[in-house]
Structure 1
Amino acid sequence: MKHSSIAFKYPTYRDDSPKSCKRWLDGKRIDDNAEGLWRVHDKLYDLRLFMKNHPGGKDWLEMTKGVDITELFEIHHITDSAEKILPKFYVRDASSPRNYKITFEENGFYKTMKRRLASKLESLDESQVSNSRFYCDFMLTSTILFSVIAARDNNYLIASLAALSLSWLVIITHNFIHQKDNWRMYLMNLSLLNYRDWRVFHVMSHHHYPNSYHDLEISFFEPFLNWMPEKKTKTQIYFYWAVSPIVYASTLFSGFIMRMSSAIFHNQQLFADDLMPLLLPTTMYIFGNINIYVVVKIWLFIVMLSSFFYMLVAINAGHHHREIFHEGDELKSLDFGVYQLAATIDKVEVKNSLFLTLTTFGQHILHHFFPSLDHSLLPQLTEMFYETCQEFENEFREFPWWELIKGQYIQLARTETTKLSN
C-alpha cells in the first residue's frame, strides 16, 4: 500500500498567524480525538493524579492534556514499566480512530528495535554521559566569559567567539531537553528561545511528524522558506534562496517574538524563566561594561550571529534533502521507524566524535528513534540498528555534510512528489 500523508486531517490552525506552540497544541486538541483526556493508541486515560509522580516531570503531562500522546509515550518509554502502570488510569476506549496513520505494530520494525534496546539497556556503558554534561557546562562558561570580555573591550572578534559558544550551547542543550527535567534544559532560554516551546515544536511536533504538515519546524518558516514539494514559481524559489541567510540570523529573535505574541494574542502563560534571556546582557553590564549602549550593541550582535550559526547547523542537520520524505511523498510503510528513516539522513563526518555529535545534531536517526537517551549512548546501538535495518530490508543513509547543505537548497526548489525506498 502507498502512503502519502501521516495523518487523516490537515492540522487545525496550521495556516493561522501569528504561529505559536500554544496554537499548535490548541489545534491538536481539536484533531486528536482525545476527548479532553490523554490518548495512547485507542484508549483514553486520566493522568491528573499521576502528574506529580511522573518521572519525566509534570510539565510533560500538563501540556499534553487533551491530546494523543501515542508517539510521545512509545518513544520515551523504552522498557515496559510505563505500560504496566498505564492501565491504572484507564477511563474508556476512544470513540473515534486516531488521526495519525503512524503504526507501532508489535512485530514491526520500530517495536522490534525497541525490544532489543530494552533487553540491553541496563548493560549500556554510561561513562560518556558525564562528557555530555561537561561539554554543555564548558559551552555555558565560554559563552559567559567571551560575552563579558567582548562587552568590556567592545570587541566584535571576541563577540563572534561568544556567538559560536552560544550556538553550540543551544544545540548541546537540545540533548537535555528530551530527558527528564534537569537544570541544563533551562540553558536554552539564554538564547531567546525557550525550553517549553522546544518541547512542543521540536519534541512533540518535529520528532513525531518530521517534514509533514504537523511539523512546526516546517510551518514556522513559511512563507519565507518552504521545503514542501509543492507548486512553486521560479520567483518563489529564488526568494527562498536569497532570504535564507536573513532567516538564519533572525530566528532566535523570531522565536522570542512569537512567544511574546502568543502570550498577548493566545493567552499563553509566561513563567519566571522567560526572563532568563536578560541574564547574559545583565552579566555583561555588571562584569564587562557599564556603558549600556555598548552592552546592548554587543549582545544583539552575539544573538544575531549565534542565530546564524545555530540555523546553519539545524536546517542542514539531516531533514531537508531531495531524497528525504516530505509531505506528499510515497512511503512503503507508516511504521514509525520506517517513517523516521525516510525523513532523516545522517552526516558521515561527525559520528566518531561526541563533541561533534552534540554540536551538529549528529547520530540523528538513532536520536529520532530513542530521543530520551543521552547522545553519548547512541554509538552503542549502531550494530543492533544496522542488523535490524538489514533484517527488515530498510535502508540506512549517510551523506557528507556538504551534500546535505546542497540538497537542502535543491529541496527548496522541489515541486514534485516522489516515491521513496523506505
Structure 2
Amino acid sequence: MLTTAPRGTKDILPDEVYIWQYIEKVVREVASIYGYKEIRTPTFEHTELFQRGVGDTTDIVQKEMYTFEDKGGRSITLRPEGTASVVRAFIQNKLTDNPQPTKLYYIISAFRYERPQAGRMREFHQFGVEVFGAEDPSLDAEIIDMAVSILSKIGLKGLKLKINSIGCNRCRPDYNSALKDYLEQRLDKLCDNCKKRYEKNPLRVLDCKNPSCRAQFAYVPVILDYLCDDCKSHFSRLQSKLDVLGIEYQVDPSIVRGLDYYTKTAFEIVSEDIGAQGAVCGGGRYDGLVKECGGPDMPGVGFAMGLERIVLAVKAQNVPVPRNDCVDVFAVSIGDETEDVVYSIVKKLRDNGISCDKDYLGRSTRAQLKYADKVHAKYALIVGGDELNRNTALLRDMATGEQQEVPFSELVEVLSNALKKEERG
C-alpha cells in the first residue's frame, strides 16, 4: 500500500517550486537592501520557550503545537512560529551585547495542528523579520515599508495595509476591564473558545473569526480610546512616518493579532484574492518579549509572511514569474559515433557555467528535439556524422528556429555571449 504525505502537508513539485524560488529570491534581495541579516534556528525547541514566548492563552499553545517527549524525557515542540526562536537565539548567543538595533530575517518551515484550508497547512512556510533594541516608531514604519516593498516587487496588486495600536501593560488593563464588561452581557452568544479567552485574555476574543461571534462586536469598546499618552504618541508618530514614506493605510481597531506578546503597533497586509483568510503578512511590536524569555529589557518589532498565501495570491493575480528551471542547452547526438563527443561537450559547457542536458533514453533525433522544447531549453546543440567530421555543432535557437554552425572550440564563447545578450534583453 502506498504511503501518502500526512494530512496538512504538501509536496512542492518542480512545476510550482520556481514560484517559491522567485519569492525567496525577492525577499532575500529586499532584506539585504534594508540591512537585515539571515538567522537560522532549530526546527524544534524546548516546549517552555513557546509557552513563555507565544503565550499560554493562545490557540497555538493550547491546541495547535506538535509537542512530544524525547528519549531523554524532555518536552520538545516543533516550532509553531519564528519569533520566539529568534528571541531565544538573540539572548543565548549574546547578540544583546552588540551595537543595536539588531536586524534579522529568516525563511522557515513551521508546524501547527489545525484544520487544513487554502493557504493554511499543518506544515507551512514563513518569511519573517525581527528587530531588537529600538523603540522608535520609525522602525515600525521601516518594517512595514519593507513588507510592502517585498509584496510590490513580487508583483502583487490590490493589497491593503491595516494598522492598530493595542496599547501596553500600563493602559491595556483598563481596556481589558471595559472589554470584559461589554462581553459579559453577550457571553451566551459567544463560542466556547471566546468564553475561555474572556477569562484569560479578553483582547484575544476580538481575533475570533466565527461570524456569530463577530456579530457581537458591533459596538465593542475601541482600544484606541484607552491608550496611555506614550502609546498615543507612538501610534501618532507611526502614522506620520508612514505618511512620509507615502504608504497608504487604514486604521482598523479590530487588528489585534493572535499572539500574546504584541504591544503597541499591530498590523496586517491583506489580499482579497485568496479567500476569507486573506492576510499575507502580519506583525507588530513586542517590547516585553525579550525580557519574558530571560533576556534584558529590550524592545522588539517584526513581521511574518505566509509563503503559501503569497503563492496563492501570485497565482490568483496571474503574476508573471520568470522560470529558472529550464536549461540553457540540450545536446542532441545523432548516431552512436557522436555519443562520446557530445558527452564531453556537455561536461565542458557545465564546467563553464552553462546549464546543459542530453538524452539518456536513446530517443530519435526528432524525439530529442521535441524533448528539448518540452524542457524549455533555450538552445539545441546538434552533432551528427557530418558535424563530427568538421569538428562543429549546429546551434539552434529554440525560440526562433535559427541555426548556425559553430566549431567545438568556440561553443563556450558563442553560447556565453548569446546568453548574456538574452539577459540584457
TM over 0.5: no
Identify which of structures 1 and 2 has the higher relative contact order when contacts are C-alpha pairs closer than 8 Å and 6+ apart: 1
**TM-score bucket (shorter structure):** under 0.3
Question: Which one has a larger percent helix, Structure 1 or Structure 2?
Answer: 1
TM-score calculated relative to the size of structure 1:
0.22
Give the TM-score normalised by structure 2: 0.22
Which entry has the higher C-alpha Rg, 1 or 2?
2
* Higher fraction of strand: 2
